[in-house]
A and B are shown apart, each in its own frame.
Chain A
Amino acid sequence: MLCLLPVTYKPLKQSYDINALRARDPVALDQLVRAESGRVYRCIARLVRDPQEAENLMQETFLQAILKMDTFRGEAKLSTWLCAIGINLSRAWLRKSKRYDVLGEDEVERLQPQYDLAGRSTTQYQPWNPEQQTERNERIDRVHQALDQLPEDYRVVIVLRDLEELSTAEAAEIIGISEGAVRVRLHRARQVLRSLLNDYFAT
């Protein structure tokens, strides 16, 4: 049932007339796309790492959002809802394209730090000095290569928390899991990346 009462939602800087968006008012659509496309594009681009595909997926994100605007109840921020749609479309594209050779869950487990029964680390860690050892472009490439190996679930949480610097609460809302699950997944993902980067940077 269409809600006929004025529904406005106020994010930090913008206020959207949801009824106008539901009615596909051109001014409302223009306002939404101008305000939110940058952030949505960034989230998608960081995941799919193909600028043309990121643009395609972003357009599809807005289309899906407008077509489903009747289902938006206003409990979440509209920008969060948009990101969630964008992330889901990106994940579907990643699965379909199978572009990257990602690690299996058993390898993710193997790359976590290991401990004996008393909780002592069984690995001797060597210091890194990435700034001295490599140029910035090479460091960026190494991190990209490591990120490309992460399974989707882990890549998404790294993108949202460490690259886009969203809060745990917002990331949880976008992904559709609890804040506790976001923290666990983020920590495991960072451990995998640390382990992969150790091969390049350990002195």
Chain B
Amino acid sequence: MITLLRKRWFGPKLTCKEVDAFLAEYLEGTLDPKIQKGFKKHLHMCPNCPVFLEQYRQTVHLLKDQPTPKPPRELVDHTLAFLRKRLPR
């Protein structure tokens, strides 16, 4: 009974491993609200997981900061010429 009340009030008690499993959803804002309480509580209590979460978030940010490959200006014309040459009539 006390466990159920604790879970309802504070959320489930999560381990570091479980926090890792929910990381991506947490960063996307899609984490189940019932799990979010326990997730945030773990971050508050564990000295390691907040640093780990931040590294994970920065990894994704560094990926999104990659430059976008720019297609060559003649790409469309070259491709159409290639198709005209290679497609059987």
Q: Which residues of A contact B (CB under 8 A)?
A: 24, 26, 29-30, 33-34, 37-38, 41-42, 45-46, 51, 54-55, 58-59, 62-63, 66-67, 113, 115, 118-121, 123-128, 130, 136, 139-140, 143-144, 158, 162-163, 165, 183, 186-187, 190-191, 193-194, 197-198, 201
Contact = CB atoms under 8 A, between A and B. Distances in A.
A125 B59 contact: no
B65 interface: yes
A58 B59 contact: no
A42 B87 CA distance: 24
Given A33-B79, A51-B72, A130 B23 contact: no
Interface string B54-73: 11101110111111110110
B82 A59 contact: yes
A140 B62 CA distance: 8
B52 A113 contact: yes
A55 B72 contact: yes
A67 B82 CA distance: 13
B86 A63 contact: yes
Interface of B: 15-18, 20, 23-24, 46, 48-49, 51-52, 54-56, 58-60, 62-69, 71-72, 75-76, 78-80, 82-84, 86-87
A163 B76 contact: no
Contact of B59 (A120, A136, A197): A197
Contact of A119 (B15, B76, B78): B15
20 contacts: A37-B76, A38-B71, A45-B71, A51-B69, A59-B82, A62-B83, A119-B15, A119-B18, A120-B17, A125-B51, A125-B52, A125-B55, A127-B54, A127-B55, A130-B58, A136-B65, A139-B62, A140-B66, A183-B24, A197-B62
